[in-house]
Amino acid sequence: MSTFANRLLASLTVVALTGLSAAMAQTATPADKPDAKPVRSLPYVSITGDDGRQRHYETNAIPLLFNRACFGWRMYLGGPNRVVSLKEVLTTSQPAEQVIAGPETEVSADKTRATTRMFETVQDGVLQRSWCIIPGDPPGTYTYDITVDGEPRGEFVFCAIEMPDQDVNTDPRDLSCPNKFNSVQRAPLRPRSAS
C-alpha cells in the first residue's frame, strides 16, 4: 500500500475512533445514571385488608371504611432535608360527628373547618401528611389548602364515599367521585425584581 493510502487510512481511523469515543461519552449507561423516579404531588388512599396488608392507591376517592382506610397528600418541594412551617386548612362539605385534634389544630364551631399549624420535615424533597377514617367522618368533599413557610403551595380535593357494607376489598379507583384527581400544585412565589 502506498504511503499516502496508509496515512489516509490512519487519519480516517483516528477520526472514526474519536467520533465513537465522543458518542460513547455522551451516552449514559445505567451504571452512570440511575433511573430517576418521577416525583409528583398527589393524593393517595391506603386500605388495610383482613390479612393486615396495606394496599396503596393514587386517588382522591376515599371509601369511608372505618379504622381501615387512610388517606393523605404528598407534595414535592425539592431541596435539602429540612423542617418547614406548615399550615393546613381542611374544609369539609358536612360537619364531622367527632373531631380528634391535637393542640396545634383549631376546629370551627360547626366542625366543617380545621386549621393545623405545625412544623413538618421535608424528606428527600417531599412533604406529606395522612389521616385515617374513623366512625363519624362525613361523606362529601374534603379540601386541604396547604401553605409552606408562609407561601400557598397547593390544594388537594378528596371525596369521601359512604360504604354501608364496609368491604375492605373495595378498590377506591372504581368509586364514583365527581372531582377525581382535582389536585393542583401552586408554584412558589418568586420575589419581584426591582425595576
CATH class of domain segment(s) 42-185 = mainly beta
Confidence of residue 15 (pLDDT cuts 50, 70, 90): very low
Residue of 126 and 181 predicted with greater confidence: 126
- Nine cell digits for residue 168: 375492605
Average pLDDT of span 14-31: 40
Rounded to two decimals, what is the model's pTM? Answer: 0.71
The enclosing H or E element of 40 equals none
Confidence of residue 188 (pLDDT cuts 50, 70, 90): low
Q: Is pLDDT of 194 > 70?
A: no
Q: CB atoms < 10 A from the CB of 163, how many?
A: 20
Residue spans of the domains in the chain: they are: 42-185
